[in-house]
Structure 1
Amino acid sequence: MTDERPDEATDPLVSVVVVTYNSERTVGETLSSLADQTYPDDRYEVVVVDGGSTDGTAGLAGDHGAQFHVVEGGTIGACRNRGVDVAAGDFVAFTDSDCAVPSTWLRSHVDRIADADDHIVGVGGPNRPFPSDPPFAKLVGSLQGTVFGSGGSPQSHAIDRVREVRSVACCNVLYDASIFDAYRFDGDINVGEDAEFHFRLSEAGHRFLFDPAIAVSHHLSPTFAAFCEKSRSYGYAMARIQRRHGKVIRWYSALPSLALLGGSVAALDDLGKRRLRNVPLLALSFLLVSGYATRQVYRDRHSGLALLVPLMLAAQYGYYGLGFLEGLLAPDPVPQELP
């Protein structure tokens, strides 16, 4: 630890929670970055909550001196709740087991929230690919920095100023611990648990501060197949969450599914009338959108791989839309009896 401040005794205690599951390959990097904070080492603790790993995750947590708790078979939401339960801090921070945080991470979060208004319950920031990640992962990061790649989601979209937002990503967030006296993550949710939790907070009038300067490194999808699968899982999760609440959580979440259905109807209409009118118009619209995103990605990466952006956008929208439809149509799980 470095850069201890003269008034470090007044610094609030922070509990950092890292949720893991078979994270042996990456969690060591996460915990090493948390051990190298400018925040006083006696004013924060690191808590690892594991969903029942079968690899060497537990040993790595022990090697780094982190508390280790297991929620066997637990969802991400349930593991986050266990972390909150055991946290002793005035603030609770979360990062993921495939992330690395800068040395000023805790200091920046605590300083940012110190003078925040009462309706601010937390601080978050963006996540960026690791410099050592493969070229495709970096391309994913640049695509998510565009409005068409992220849907305007602040944790990915390139926002250049501190602003209030309704939601941030749990791979880079610090909460005022008092918020957990009245709210918890939904323990039944494994993907999108942060979006669902923040939706309930925003409905009650709470907000977050988004600071673009507090960024973490995050291992993004390294392959096209992984990118497609993640898009599908996000779409499925968002549909399930919105079904649960009976409300639209993010206005853009249904657009990919509507585009898939609308495109199919338009193609069938052209086929039935034996003429091409609708499909060329749709193709032109997509080319304009993907061309704009390609230009932004190229300006960021200066790589010919930016030419893959149209294919990536088509896959992202298509798989997200498919997942969303699956989530809307899937039967609700049968409630399990408690012992």
Structure 2
Amino acid sequence: MSDQSPDEDPFVTVVVVTYNSAATVGETLSSLAGQTYPADRYAVHVVDGGSTDDTEALAAEYGAGFHVVAGGTIGACRNYGIDLAEGDYVAFTDSDCAVPATWLRSHVDRIAGTEDHVVGVGGPNRPFPSDPPFAKLVGSLQGTVFGSGGSPQSHAIDRVREVRSVACCNVCYDASVFEEHRFDGEINVGEDAEFHFRLSEAGYRFLFDPAIAVSHHLSATFADYCKKSRSYGYAMARIQRRHGKVIRWYSALPSLALLGGSLAGLDDLRRGRLRNAPLLALSFLLVSGYATRQVYRDRRSGLALLVPVMLAAQYTYYGIGFAEGLTTPEPVPQELP
């Protein structure tokens, strides 16, 4: 805890983890420099995994601290930022995000006076207004139960409530939680889900406030969308395999659906008639139709008709990644000479 007079705002350390993000980190740092929170009551630190672009120059331009963890995972870089932190709170946003001017003030006001078991506050992330139509479509799809599993990052959650996890692109922690808990320094994707799982197992919770939103550059192309879906599936499987526990009950559903669909198709081929395929197709049409309706209501765009294709790709690639994460052997530690 920092020493401060009763009428001073608590000091906040803001950590931005980055790697070769010169194209977007300027927006992030510019938004952090324009906060309504008193400038002498917060500091911004950029923790870099070893970029080869102009990220360092941009950090200097906006007066942010710049620190390199060469080859570091996202988890390791977050921990390094925590080591740098001073004050009562530690906030994180990502280097492809922009925060509103009231971001720190909203977080501090919301977290102040919360119960002891609440260790932080988070909120949704939404596409930039200037992002391409496909990225906005991704954002709307994430706002549906079938696009995100109803996770707290979804802007469809419209009230303040306690949750077990939030996205690290938009979170503010009570710094005291880091006295005993840290991110897993070996994890590069899904490090926030793994960390928050351990916190939830210890009895801690977060407040999710849908009014504290950040802008986030989401997948701008279909190929990137598929790639990220696969990497998320892989990461979630590895995390659950490491703990030997189910972290998110729905995470295995895409893989199970792929397996079940394949077996059903093989059974139809064996029987020489379509019996299972029509039922599977009807089920998918009902799910994708509901999601399409929700996305259209949000976007009012004919591009919502792409939702069935996007859902099919998301489930397929996530399911493949999850299966890979379950079956890929753990790397063998190298013995030192």
**TM-score under structure 1 normalisation?**
0.97
| 1:43-62 superposed matches below 5 A | 43-62=41-60
| 1:147–1:157 Cα contact (<8 Å) kept | no
Q: In structure 2, the residue corresponding to 1:252 is in which secondary structure?
A: helix
Letter of the structure 1 residue corresponding to residue 321 of structure 2 = G
For residue 19 of structure 2, the aligned residue among 18, 21, 39 is: 21
Letter of the structure 2 residue corresponding to residue 194 of structure 1 = D
| 2:64 match | 66
| 1:157-196 superposed matches below 5 A | 157-196=155-194
Whole-angstrom distance in 2 between the partners of 1:103 and 1:337: 50
| 1:4 match | none
Letter of the structure 2 residue corresponding to residue 305 of structure 1 = L
> Is residue 118 of structure 2 the alignment partner of residue 115 of structure 1?
no
| 1:182-221 superposed matches below 5 A | 182-221=180-219
Letter of the structure 2 residue corresponding to residue 208 of structure 1 = F
| 1:8–1:40 Cα contact (<8 Å) kept | no
Runs of 5+ unmatched residues, structure 2? none
For residue 299 of structure 1, the aligned residue among 267, 279, 297 is: 297
| 1:18-167 superposed matches below 5 A | 18-167=16-165
Root-mean-square deviation (Å): 1.1
Whole-angstrom distance in 2 between the partners of 1:79 and 1:133: 27
Change (3 A) 1:33 1:337: farther
Comparing 326-335 and 251-260, the one that deviates more:
326-335
> Is residue 267 of structure 2 the alignment partner of residue 234 of structure 1?
no
| 2:125–2:155 Cα contact (<8 Å) kept | no
Instruction: After TM superposition, give the deviation of residue 308 of structure 1 in Å.
Output: 0.1
Runs of 5+ unmatched residues, structure 1? 1-6
Whole-angstrom distance in 2 between the partners of 1:181 and 1:152: 31
**CA offsets 1:138-168 (integer angstroms, 9 cap, x no match):** 0000000000000111112510100000000
Instruction: After TM superposition, give the deviation of residue 89 of structure 1 in Å.
Output: 2.2
Whole-angstrom distance in 2 between the partners of 1:50 and 1:223: 26
Counting aligned pairs with the same residue, the percent is 83
For residue 261 of structure 2, the aligned residue among 243, 260, 263 is: 263
| 2:76–2:186 Cα contact (<8 Å) kept | yes
Whole-angstrom distance in 2 between the partners of 1:312 and 1:202: 31
Instruction: After TM superposition, give the deviation of residue 241 of structure 1 in Å.
Output: 0.2
Q: In structure 2, the residue corresponding to 1:312 is in which secondary structure?
A: helix
Change (3 A) 1:326 1:157: farther
Aligned length: 333
Whole-angstrom distance in 2 between the partners of 1:18 and 1:89: 17
| 2:155–2:210 Cα contact (<8 Å) kept | no
**CA offsets 1:202-233 (integer angstroms, 9 cap, x no match):** 00100000000000000000000000000000
Instruction: After TM superposition, give the deviation of residue 335 of structure 1 in Å.
Output: 1.9
| 1:3 match | none
Instruction: After TM superposition, give the deviation of residue 90 of structure 1 in Å.
Output: 1.1
Change (3 A) 1:337 1:17: farther
Letter of the structure 2 residue corresponding to residue 311 of structure 1 = V
Letter of the structure 1 residue corresponding to residue 302 of structure 2 = G
Instruction: After TM superposition, give the deviation of residue 115 of structure 1 in Å.
Output: 1.6
Change (3 A) 1:63 1:92: same
For residue 272 of structure 1, the aligned residue among 270, 273, 277 is: 270
Instruction: After TM superposition, give the deviation of residue 9 of structure 1 in Å.
Output: 4.7
Q: In structure 2, the residue corresponding to 1:175 is in which secondary structure?
A: strand
Letter of the structure 2 residue corresponding to residue 170 of structure 1 = C
Whole-angstrom distance in 1 between the partners of 2:168 and 2:332: 28
Instruction: After TM superposition, give the deviation of residue 338 of structure 1 in Å.
Output: 6.7
| 1:317-336 superposed matches below 5 A | 317-336=315-334
Whole-angstrom distance in 1 between the partners of 2:251 and 2:121: 24
**TM-score under structure 2 normalisation?**
0.97
Whole-angstrom distance in 2 between the partners of 1:234 and 1:8: 44
Whole-angstrom distance in 2 between the partners of 1:29 and 1:61: 11
